[in-house]
Amino acid sequence: MKVFEKFPFLLGLLASLFMLLSFMVKTPTSSFNGELAVMGLCCATVYWIWIVLQIRDHARRSQVKKPFWLVFAIVVPYIGSLLYQIMEERNMVEQQSAAQEPAKELAA
């Protein structure tokens, strides 16, 4: 799937990995690794800002969907951004395949 080639998606996965590791890697004084959690939160924040700006600047988004995705990404920051990224890529793949089908029929 084309979504895995995009830098923001990889940044979101990296944030998830850091957060997961922060609970798995224990320090001698605590059962939580704060350094990994801070790295995960930093990556998640950059990812969230990137996606919110992408939603805001998206020209072909309808007037109903754009505010919905903005509110969803702001209210549920990390999950909303990740869902937007996945759904947007799915819509783009469907649009590209729909645009290629008539061209294939004309060529045949």
| Higher pLDDT among residues 3 and 41, named by residue | 41
Q: Is the pLDDT of residue 78 over 70?
A: yes
Task: Report the predicted TM-score, pTM, of the whole model to 2 decimal places.
Answer: 0.72
**Pair of tokens at residue 91:** 């819509």
Residue 53: per-residue pLDDT: 87
| Over residues 6-25, mean pLDDT | 86
**Pair of tokens at residue 17:** 């990995």
CB atoms near residue 41 (< 10 Å) = 15
pLDDT interval class at 1 (50, 70, 90): very low
Contact 64, 56 (CB under 8 A): no
From the centroid of its chain, how far is CA 73? 10
pLDDT interval class at 42 (50, 70, 90): very high
